[in-house]
Structure 1
Amino acid sequence: MPSTSFPPLSFATCDLCDAYKNDSTGDFRVLPPVFRDFGAESRFAGTVVTVKCFEDNTLVKAAVDSPGEGRVLVVDGGASLRRALVGGNLGAAAARNGWAGVVVNGCVRDVVELALCQTGIRALAPMPLPTEKRNEGQRDVAVQIQGVWVRPGDWLYADEDGMVVSATALHA
């Protein structure tokens, strides 16, 4: 489900970088190229909702089980490579509930199932081990993803060339 404010397929992150590369306000940020593409949609965009958790995906599940409305869920998993925060069931829930994408600063599992999910899914790596459920974490807080600040309400744009984040909707 595309965002109602900005159609996801009408942008290219390279064009956005060309247009905003001299931004000195900090409103335009580029995420490092460490994320792999796991979902069926390689291009997605939307306003950001954040979850901060470490090896516990309780809040991630709650988020993807709620209406996505074309938004992008950014999960700060502390870059842990020890547990998967999103698997096939959560990927399917994200697609079913209209999330444009899920970006995980951590791992995912059920890679074959995720590839069938009609949503964007980016993460650092696959890891078959699931999380433990401790009901810990925070939602709708500023998170630092690979050294880049991402805040609730920011816009995230992802395509085959990478991901960029902006405090406002962008047009190249």
Structure 2
Amino acid sequence: MSFFTCDICDANEDKLATGELRVLPPLFMKFGRQGKFLGQAVTLKVFEENSLVRTKLESPGNGQVLVIDGGGSIRCALVGGNLASLAQQNGWVGIIVNGCVRDVEEINACNIGVRALASFPVRSAKRSTGEQDVRISIAGVAIQPGDWIYADADGVLVASENLLK
């Protein structure tokens, strides 16, 4: 995987200006063994409950990135070691959580990339609520299903199209 988010930004200043290329604010911590990942976004919108997260990660990931808008809540974790392992087994390349994770040592043993606001030991509720495959907004940055996600040590980009053709 040969890309650098800095180079993508430099080569696409016009798309940054139009919003076709967006940058998530530097709020996210890195977890998992893959510090760099890219793939198309699959979106979820949940709040302090992760039943839909499990359901989605049980399905084939096909090299996609699960982007979870957890409302920025830091009162419970939406992804833990079991779900990260499930994601790895089912071919997801990454998970971005606008919320918390837990079981950090287990997540860090998985061969996927994970970004989250923080770690927090309390698990989420199980209410089977939420929305999938919808437009979400994380820290003011819009993400549509099918957008391209590029993540590395410098940050996380969201693009309306594949910029590495």
Q: TM-score range by the shorter chain?
A: over 0.9
Scaled by the length of structure 2, the TM-score of the pair is 0.97
Cα distance in 1 between the residues matched to 2:18 and 2:164: 17
2:28 corresponds to 1:35: yes
2:23 corresponds to 1:12: no
Where does residue 104 of structure 1 map in the other structure? 97
Q: 1:146 Cα deviation (Å)?
A: 1.1
2:149 aligned to which of 144, 149, 156: 156
Which runs of 5 or more structure 1 residues have no equivalent in the other structure? Answer: 1-8
Cα distance in 2 between the residues matched to 1:99 and 1:74: 11
1:92 aligned to which of 80, 85, 93: 85
2:119 aligned to which of 106, 109, 126: 126
Cα distance in 2 between the residues matched to 1:65 and 1:36: 24
2:55 corresponds to 1:66: no
Cα RMSD, aligned residues only: 1.0
Cα distance in 2 between the residues matched to 1:73 and 1:21: 26
Scaled by the length of structure 1, the TM-score of the pair is 0.93
The number of residue pairs the alignment matches comes to 164
Identify which range, 17-26 or 81-90, moves more after superposition.
17-26
Identify which range, 14-23 or 75-84, moves more after superposition.
14-23
Where does residue 133 of structure 2 map in the other structure? 140
Identity of aligned residues (%): 53
Cα distance in 1 between the residues matched to 2:164 and 2:124: 38
Which runs of 5 or more structure 2 residues have no equivalent in the other structure? Answer: none
Q: 1:20 Cα deviation (Å)?
A: 1.3
